[in-house]
């Protein structure tokens, strides 16, 4: 136990000076009564900086490799885009780490983007628009509902996500019109299912939708 001669207080732990008056202490210091927390080595900022550095490194090194190869390397653009998407993904996940629904949405929308790009750079066989994109949109709706149920959220807390998914899945109509789908059945079923599902919510759970919209748009 250490003692301050001026304040006449006893101080536990190992202090250099009296915390009240700043005078030197007498007596023998003891082990601190409070646990010493180890500093976290991997902070969010460090992860973000590392990801940023790796992305920039890839964006610089690959064009240099391309230059020395003297011929176009077909995988270079894909690898560079992947680096940017990977960085965006890590940033979004760190930023929205407390919001499971936002994280799922950002991940899967990025997934759609990645599928389209990979398909494009690997010969454009259109498996992305024909199979992957409709499946991801269906998965988004199922995932949103499941997450809502697991988190025991009220429908009004996640109904706007379902609206967003339904509206964005309509972009597939554009793909269909452009003739990108080698087999349009799956995409058409996916769009119809989502629109029906959302209309069902509007008709049966109108109040949830209305209160969510009011809260979101401050009407
Ligand atoms: Zn003192």
Separation of CA 172 and ligand 1 centre (Å): 74
**Residue 19 maps to a domain:** yes
Structural domain of 10: 1-37
Separation of CA 130 and ligand 1 centre (Å): 77
Same domain, 51 and 147: no
Same domain, 219 and 123: yes
What is 91-105 written as a DSSP string?
Answer: HHHHHTTT-HHHHHH
Separation of CA 24 and ligand 1 centre (Å): 8
Burial of 160 (0-12, 13-18, 19+ CB in 10 A): middle
- Identify which of 190, 195, 89 has the alpha carbon closest to the alpha carbon of residue 132: 190
**How much is the pLDDT for 51?**
92
Instruction: Report helix, strand or coil for 127.
Output: helix
**Residue 169 maps to a domain:** yes
Query: Do 145 and 196 meet the contact criterion of CB atoms below 8 Å apart?
Result: no
Same domain, 13 and 90: no
Alpha-carbon torsion, ordered 133, 138, 142, 144, to 10 deg: 60
**How much is the pLDDT for 219?**
59
Same domain, 90 and 127: no
Query: Do 144 and 162 meet the contact criterion of CB atoms below 8 Å apart?
Result: yes
Query: To the nearest whole percent, how much of the chain has pLDDT over 90?
Result: 36
The token pair that represents 30 in the structure block: 């003891």
The Cβ-side half-sphere exposure at 3, using a 13 Å CA radius, reads 4
- Identify which of 28, 118, 113, 138 has the alpha carbon closest to the alpha carbon of residue 75: 118
**How much is the pLDDT for 14?**
82
Separation of CA 108 and ligand 1 centre (Å): 60
**How much is the pLDDT for 132?**
92
Query: Do 35 and 61 meet the contact criterion of CB atoms below 8 Å apart?
Result: no
Same domain, 147 and 168: yes
**Residue 103 maps to a domain:** no
**How much is the pLDDT for 64?**
93
Same domain, 49 and 24: no
Number of domains comprising the chain: 3
**Residue 109 maps to a domain:** no
Separation of CA 5 and ligand 1 centre (Å): 7
Same domain, 82 and 7: no
Same domain, 214 and 122: yes
DSSP 66: H
Residue-by-residue pLDDT tens, the chain, 219 positions: 889 989 988 888 888 888 889 888 888 888 876 777 777 667 888 889 999 999 999 999 999 998 998 888 878 888 898 899 889 888 888 888 888 888 889 889 989 999 999 898 888 999 999 999 999 999 888 888 888 888 888 888 888 899 999 999 999 999 999 999 989 999 999 999 999 999 999 999 999 888 888 888 875
Separation of CA 12 and ligand 1 centre (Å): 13
Same domain, 8 and 54: no
Same domain, 50 and 19: no
d(CA 9, CA 12): 10
**How much is the pLDDT for 102?**
87
């Amino acid at each position: 136990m250490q003692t301050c001669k001026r304040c006449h207080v006893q101080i536990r732990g190992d202090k250099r000076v009296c915390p009240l008056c700043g005078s030197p202490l007498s007596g023998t210091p003891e082990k601190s009564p409070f646990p010493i927390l180890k500093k976290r080595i991997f902070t969010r900022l460090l992860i973000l900086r590392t990801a940023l550095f790796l992305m920039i490194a890839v964006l610089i090194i690959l064009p240099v490799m391309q230059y020395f190869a003297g011929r176009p390397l077909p995988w270079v653009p894909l690898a560079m885009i992947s680096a940017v998407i990977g960085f965006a993904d890590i940033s979004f996940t760190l930023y929205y780490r407390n919001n499971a629904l936002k994280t799922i949405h950002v991940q899967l929308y990025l997934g759609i983007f990645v599928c389209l790009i990979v398909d494009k750079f690997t010969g454009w066989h259109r498996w992305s628009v024909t199979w992957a994109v409709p499946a991801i949109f269906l998965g988004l709706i199922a995932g949103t509902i499941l997450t809502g149920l697991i988190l025991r959220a009220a429908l009004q807390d996640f109904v706007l996500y379902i609206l967003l998914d339904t509206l964005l899945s309509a972009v597939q109509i554009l793909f269909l019109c452009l003739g990108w789908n080698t087999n349009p059945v799956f995409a058409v079923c996916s769009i119809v299912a989502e629109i029906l599902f959302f209309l069902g919510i509007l008709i049966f759970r109108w109040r949830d939708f209305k209160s969510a919209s009011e809260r979101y748009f401050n009407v």
